[in-house]
A and B are shown apart, each in its own frame.
Chain A
Amino acid sequence: MSAPATKPNDTLLWVSLIVFGVVGLSVGKFFRPGPIAEAYVSVTTEVRTLVEEVPAANEAAAKPADGAAAEPVTGSTPPKRIWVDTDDPAIERQLKEGTLKRVPDVAQAVWDVRTPIDNAATAREQMASLENEAEKLSAPTDSTGLTKEEFDQREAARTAALKVVEEKRIVSSPRDSIGIWVGALLTLGILSFLVRDNPFYKVVESILIGVSAAYWMLVAFWSTLVPDLLAKLAPDLVRATMLPGLAQSEDPTQDFLLALIPLGLAIMLLWRLMPKGGWIAVWPLAVVIGTFAGMRLTATIEADFMAQIAAAMEPMAAFTTVPPDEAAIAAAQAAGTAPSPGREFNFGGTLAAILGLIGVVTVLIYFFFSLEHKGVVGKTARVGVWFLMITFGAAFGLTVMGRMTLLIGRFEFLFGDWLNVVK
C-alpha cells in the first residue's frame, strides 16, 4: 500500500506570505523616499458663462428707416446661447463690443479638472517650485524711483503672474492613492494563482469578469448605440440629454424609418435570451455573418493576398548606392555635369531576397495539400516546414518577451507606484 500524498500546509504558506509582506514593508519603510501609494494631481479650475448672441439683424429691422413704421419681426428664432470662457480674449472683446451678452439669472458653471501626475517625486518638485515662485511674487519689492504709472504697471504684471502661479495647483489625491492600493491588491490576487488556485484569486477573477463585461457593454452603448441608433430614433431626446452637439439631420423621418430596421434586428437578437423562439435571432445573425463575410472577402484579397504578393516581388540581385569613384568624378567634370553615384553588388541583400522568395514558395507548397507531399514536392515542402519552424520560433520568442514586458510593468507598479521602494 502506497503512502498517502502529503498535502502542503496552506495555513503555514499564507502565514509565511503575510509575515514576509509585513517584514518587507517595514524594512522598505527605512529606504522609501515617501509614503506608500503616494499620488498627486494637478488641478485646473474651469469656469464657463452662458452668453447669447445679440441678434443684430433683428435690431436693425426693428429700427424703422426714414420714419417708416416698424415692421414686426415674424418667425424669428431665439438667440443662440453658448457656454464660453470669459477669460478668452476673443470672447472678452465680443462681450465689450456687444455682439455677445451674458444671460441673466444663470449661474456660472465651475468645476475642477484633475490630471494625475505619474511620478510622485516630480509632483513634489513641481509643488516646491510653485511655492517658491508664489513666495517671490508676493514678497514686497523696492519701488523707489518709480513713477506711479511704472509702479501700477509692475504691480499689475505681478498680480497677473501670481494669479497664473496660484491657478496651477498640485495637490495630494487620496482618491488615486486608494486606487493604487486597490490595483496593487488586485494584482497580488491574480499573481497568487501562481502558488495555487485559492479564494483570493477567485474573488479577483469574478471582479474581472463582471467589470470587463460591463466595460465592453458601456463602450458599445456610448460609442455605437447612442450615436448610431438612439440619436436617429429620438434625436431631440438624445440632443437634450446625451449629445448636445448632435447635428440636425437633413431628413429625420427617413433616418427614423431606417433606424427601425436595426432596432428590429437588435430586438430579434436579444430574443435569444428568451426561453422559446431562439431561431428568431438567426435573422440578425445572418446580417452580421453576411456583412462580415463581404467585408473580409474584399479586405483580405486586397490587403493580405495582393499586398503580400506585391511585397514578395523584389529584385533578386540587390545593389547598394556608393559615392562616385574618381573616374566617374573626372568624367563628369569633363562633361560639365554632376557625378552620378555608383552601385555596388550587395551580397547580403541578394542572399536575403533569394531566401525570402524560397521561403514564400516552399511554405506555400507545404500548404498546398492537393498534391501528395512526395518526391520533389515533399522535399520542397520539408524546406517550407523549416521556414515555418523558424517563423514560429521567432513568434514564440517575441510573445514571451511581450509577456515579460507586461510582468515587468506589473512589478514596477507594485514596487514603484505602490510601495515606493524603486523609482
Chain B
Amino acid sequence: MLQRTIPMLILSASGLILILAYFSPVTVVWSDTVVGWFNILAGVAFVLGAGNLLAVNLEKISARRPGWAYAAITLASFGAMLVVGLGKWGAVPNPSFPDVHLAGDQDSTQSAYGWVYEYVLSPLTATMFAMLAFYVASAAFRAFRAKNIESILLLGTAFIILLAQVAAGAFLTNWIPEDRWYSFVRAEQLKEIILNVFQTSGMRAILIGIALGTAATSLRLILGIDRSALSKG
C-alpha cells in the first residue's frame, strides 16, 4: 500500500491535473501548484546528487581505495565552489540593497563564484566537448565504409555538409555559375537543399514518431499500466 498503491495514485493525480489544466482553465491554479512542487523537487534532486557525490567519494577516501586522492580533489573543489557560491564571496552589491550582502550579484568575474565559472568550469566543459571532435572524426574514419547505398548516402551527405562549411567547398565549386539550372551542385546550395528538404522531412517524421511515443509512454504511466518507474524503492 505505502510502497506501491499510494505512489501510483500520486503519480496519476499529478499527471491528470496537468492534462486537465490544458483543457480547463479552472484547474490551472492546481497545475501551477503542482509544477511549483515539481520545480522544487527538481532543485532538491541536485542536492541529492551532491549528497550522493559526497557519500561515494568519502567512502572511497576512508577505504583508501585506488584513486582516493582524486576523490579528495573532487570533494575539495566541490566544497570550495559551494562555500564561495553560498556565501557570495566578492559579489557585486545590489544597488537597491547594498547593505544586504546575499542580495548581491555574483555573475561577473569580480565574485569568486563568477571567477570559478569563467576560468574553471567554462574552459573545462568547452574543452571536454571540443575533444569530441577528435573522437567523432576518429570513429568515423574507422567505422564509415561505403559498402551499400545507405552508407554511401550517410557518408556522402556528411562529406557535403562538412565541405560546404569550410573554405574548400567554396573554392571547389564557386566556378559553377549561379544562374544556371545546374547551380544546385554548388557546395552551399547542395547544403541548403540537404538541410531544407531531406533533413527537414526526415527530422519531421522522427519528431512525429517521438511525440507519439512520448504521449503513449506518458499515458501508460499516468493510467498505471506501466509501473516500472516506481518499482525500486
Contact = CB atoms under 8 A, between A and B. Distances in A.
Nearest to B17: A294
A372 B152 CA distance: 26
Given A179-B119, A269-B44, A270-B47, 5 more contacts: A223-B43, A241-B100, A288-B45, A297-B18, A396-B158
Interface string A406-423: 110110010000000000
A300 B102 CA distance: 39
Top 6 closest pairs, chain A to chain B, by CB: A294-B18, A279-B233, A359-B201, A397-B161, A393-B157, A391-B202
B233 A288 contact: no
Contact of B48 (A176, A215, A269): A269
A384 B113 CA distance: 50
A396 B135 CA distance: 13
A214 B159 CA distance: 41
Interface stretch (A11-19, A72-80, A134-142, A360-368): A360-368
A354 to B, nearest CB: 10
B109 A287 contact: no
9 contacts: A113-B108, A215-B85, A216-B49, A258-B33, A282-B7, A287-B38, A360-B205, A395-B199, A407-B131
B131 A270 contact: no
Interface string A288-309: 1111111111101100110011
Contacts of B196: 352
B62 interface: no
A245 interface: yes
B41 A269 contact: yes
Nearest to A191: B127
A316 interface: no
A3 B86 CA distance: 58
A214 B210 contact: no
Contact of A83 (B78, B98, B136): B98
B82 A367 contact: no
Contacts of B229: 285, 289
B89 to A, nearest CB: 12
B13 interface: yes
B215 A282 contact: no
Interface of A: 46, 48, 50, 82-83, 85, 109, 111, 113-116, 175-176, 179-180, 182-184, 186-187, 190-191, 193-194, 202-225, 228-229, 240-245, 258, 261-262, 265-266, 269-270, 272-273, 278-298, 300-301, 304-305, 308-309, 311-312, 348, 352, 355-364, 367, 384-401, 403-404, 406-407, 409-410, 413
Nearest to B2: A279
A393 B158 contact: yes
A385 B22 CA distance: 36
Nearest to B4: A282
A406 B50 contact: no
A292 B214 CA distance: 11
A261 B154 contact: no
Contacts of A50: 99
B170 interface: no
B209 A367 contact: yes
B96 interface: yes
Contacts of B154: 389-390, 392-393, 396
A224 B40 contact: yes
B63 interface: no
